[in-house]
Structure 1
Amino acid sequence: MESSAQLVILAGLAIGLVYGAVGLLSGFCLMSSMRGFLAEGDGRLVRTYALAMAVAIAASQFLAASGTVDLGKSIYLQQAFSAPALFLGGLLFGYGMVLSNGCGSRALVLLGRGNLRSFVVVIVLAIAAQMTLKGLIAPARIALVQASQTTVSANSLPALLSAFGLGDAASRTLAAVVIATALALFAFAHAAFRRSPGQIAAGAIVGLLVTAGWYVTGFLGADDFNPVPVTSLTFIAPIADALQYAMLSTGLTLNFGIATVAGVFAGSLVTALATGRFQLEGYSSPRHMLRSAGGAALMGIAGVMAFGCSIGQGLTGLSTLALASSVAVAGILLGTSAGLRGALRVQPLKTAAEAGSPSAKATPQPSSRF
């Protein structure tokens, strides 16, 4: 293995370690954010996510503007993409996220804390994603994409602004500044969020981790003879690859995504043990397990269709200001909202202790705060 590839893997492991620790301590999760915002009246977590998005956009676009990283080499800025597949994938992913009570990255974090439900989610998600990438479901996915993809001249917001006569540098700066500022204002307009330094730190750190991923793969990994894919934090394909690597390591090669997955689990585990948060937890009923596994399968299939998850598209994809990512994220938000409110709302399951109580509440969500 070349030294640049080794450096990328070590850096991916370090990024994952930090993400795992921050995710455990802060409860960083899009689904939890939207549940608090839509159902519980607590808007702090959604502001944390918005701040992470603002930091990721501003810092990533700075790297691109300085010529340090070519974001155009990422999967998010392709000239041809299928908007229907991206939106449908995002929609189903968001709903599956509610069924499983969290996305793939959150499942890794909770697994490190001893949540055995998350073990089922991670395994089922990995299998379903691999089936969609290369297995039985792959032909149907490819046929859908080929039948509905279109080629666009402007694949990002800066490119769209350039089409109206703005220069490339001005278009990139204007788009990044406006969107990042709007997201930051949304975050800090909330008084409770301003009084939560831990949540502010979590949002800033996660946003910088996305940028670090771009720097590691796009700059440190830019070897003319052995280049690595330009990417950053994302969890659907990497979780699938990590499971395959665990089974067939002698025939496969470590990469940034696999190292990040391992780092997230390890970072959460070490943090949980160090802070006394480690506790084994399981399912309350067979129905609970079935719903969780079904949501994980839906996330694995849909995450591949959408080219990413709530982190892979919601933060990493949007940090490139790709129009395709906006389509996928719109689907994720709509699917999550449908699962949390309205006629398609996923009903909360009772715990074993609450099963006989007429006033039973939803199963408590294990989301610690700074």
Structure 2
Amino acid sequence: MSHIELTLWVGALIGLLFGAVGQASGFCLLRGIANTAQGDSRKLRAFMLAMAIALLGTQWLAALDYFSLSDSLYIIPSFSWLSLPLGGLLFGYGMALANGCGARALVLLGSGNLRSLVVVMCLGIGAYIALSGVLAPGRIYLEQTTSMTLASRDIAGLVTLPAWAVATPIGLLIAAWAFSNANFRASPRDWISGLIIGALVPAGWYATGVLGFDDFEPMRLASLTFVAPIGASLQYLMLSTGTRLSFGVAVVGGIIIGAFAMALVRRDFHWQGFQGPGQMARSMTGAFMMGVGGVLALGCSIGQGLTGMSTLALPSIIALLCIMLGAYLGVKGPLSLANLTSSQQ
């Protein structure tokens, strides 16, 4: 087995675990934000616990020289002060319209939710329209004209300390906050999901950075993210002849299979569709916004919220905050679906 084949199999296994755990636990940032607004913070704490585990695992593997995070797409010398936060807001609000992010849509698709099939397709199309389609020239122009150079590419550089020395107390504090809630501690489904999904991020870095390393044919250092990989998965389904399967596509396929298997085990698989054209239009619009916004923000709620944050990259912090703000506006703020619907009546 070549190093590429090994990495792809590991990617599929990571996807299987993500899909199974996500289906059993309902792990989702949007659900965490919505539930917290109603007084139940368990899902949000599960997401934050996953962030802490991803941060600790990633930084300690990097400190042991398994890979260099400077090779990732998150550690960049400059970013667009306009397109990145705008993309985060678009993704977050689109997530609220579509009732879940790309990763959640893949999990629901494996559970028989046909609404998620539409979300996945529209998200992937939107992503590739922004990456290399008709919106690409405008995106590139916007990024170039609003680019700013960073004083440091990550938090550790700002305080001139080793990354592991910064990541360790931050990760432990986040984990402590997550477990500070009695309801969260009494919900093993939530904290176990946070532990497992968080650990899958450094596993992804290890798969591409160590198992996929080769002097002559290295794989790109990457971990969990679901905007470009969903688009790449659709493209691979159509044009697989003569193309190479990527780590991200393997993860996407693994998630659907893992969620499907867990849904069968839990007897939770059942077909679901749209209740009407209005719901379908909202889902399609939200998915397209997530695709375009995810490209502008350089990642999704998982790609920036867990994987990007695990690198301590400054743009990832901005992107995640904007994603969460956009989601809140769609769930509870003045632009929420409930407020918009009531204003139309």
Question: Is 2:245 the partner of 1:254?
Answer: yes
1:327 shift after superposition: 1.0
Three-state SS of the structure 2 residue aligned to 1:284 is coil
What does residue 238 of structure 1 align with?
Answer: 229
Corresponding residue to 2:214 among 204, 220, 223:
223
Residues 116, 280 of structure 1: 8 Å contact kept:
yes
Runs of 4+ in 1 over 3 A off after TM superposition: none
1:86 shift after superposition: 1.0
Identity of aligned residues (%): 49
Question: Is 2:280 the partner of 1:281?
Answer: no
1:342 shift after superposition: 2.3
- How far apart in 1 are the matches of 2:219 and 2:27? 28
Question: Is 2:332 the partner of 1:334?
Answer: no
- How far apart in 1 are the matches of 2:34 and 2:340? 15
The structure-2 alpha-carbon separation of the partners of 1:142 and 1:296, relative to structure 1 and needing over 3 Å to count, comes to: same
Question: Is 2:50 the partner of 1:52?
Answer: yes
Residues 74, 230 of structure 1: 8 Å contact kept:
yes
What does residue 11 of structure 2 align with?
Answer: 12
- How far apart in 1 are the matches of 2:63 and 2:82? 31
Q: Deviations over 1:266-305 (max 9, x none)?
A: 1001111122000000111100000110000000000010
Quick one: which amino acid aligns to residue 4 of structure 1? H
What does residue 102 of structure 2 align with?
Answer: 104
Quick one: which amino acid aligns to residue 204 of structure 1? L
What does residue 359 of structure 1 align with?
Answer: none
- How far apart in 2 are the matches of 1:290 and 1:21? 29
Q: TM-score if structure 1 supplies the norm length?
A: 0.90
Quick one: which amino acid aligns to residue 253 of structure 1? R
Quick one: which amino acid aligns to residue 26 of structure 1? S
Q: Deviations over 1:235-277 (max 9, x none)?
A: 0000000000000000321010000000000100111112200
- How far apart in 1 are the matches of 2:72 and 2:263? 34
1:348 shift after superposition: 8.8
The structure-2 alpha-carbon separation of the partners of 1:129 and 1:20, relative to structure 1 and needing over 3 Å to count, comes to: same
Residues 33, 44 of structure 2: 8 Å contact kept:
yes
- How far apart in 1 are the matches of 2:164 and 2:229? 31
- How far apart in 2 are the matches of 1:84 and 1:182? 31
Quick one: which amino acid aligns to residue 212 of structure 2? G
What does residue 112 of structure 2 align with?
Answer: 114
- How far apart in 2 are the matches of 1:107 and 1:232? 18
Three-state SS of the structure 1 residue aligned to 2:223 is coil
Residues 89-238 of structure 1 mapped to structure 2, 5 A cutoff: 89-162=87-160, 166=161, 169=162, 172-238=163-229
Residues 83, 324 of structure 1: 8 Å contact kept:
no
1:222 shift after superposition: 1.2
1:77 shift after superposition: 0.0
Residues 229, 249 of structure 2: 8 Å contact kept:
yes
1:340 shift after superposition: 1.2
Three-state SS of the structure 1 residue aligned to 2:240 is helix
Residues 83-94 of structure 1 mapped to structure 2, 5 A cutoff: 83-94=81-92
Residues 97, 336 of structure 1: 8 Å contact kept:
yes
Three-state SS of the structure 2 residue aligned to 1:217 is helix
Three-state SS of the structure 1 residue aligned to 2:338 is coil
Q: Deviations over 1:23-79 (max 9, x none)?
A: 0000001000100001x2111111100100000001100011111111110000011
- How far apart in 2 are the matches of 1:200 and 1:189? 12
- How far apart in 2 are the matches of 1:348 and 1:186? 32
Residues 108, 265 of structure 1: 8 Å contact kept:
yes
Quick one: which amino acid aligns to residue 22 of structure 1? V
- How far apart in 1 are the matches of 2:164 and 2:241? 45
- How far apart in 1 are the matches of 2:59 and 2:165? 11
Q: CA RMSD in A?
A: 1.3
What does residue 335 of structure 2 align with?
Answer: 344
Quick one: which amino acid aligns to residue 311 of structure 2? T
Question: Is 2:300 the partner of 1:300?
Answer: no
- How far apart in 2 are the matches of 1:231 and 1:156? 17
Quick one: which amino acid aligns to residue 97 of structure 1? M
Residues 34, 332 of structure 2: 8 Å contact kept:
no
Quick one: which amino acid aligns to residue 250 of structure 1? T
Three-state SS of the structure 2 residue aligned to 1:77 is coil
Question: Is 2:20 the partner of 1:29?
Answer: no
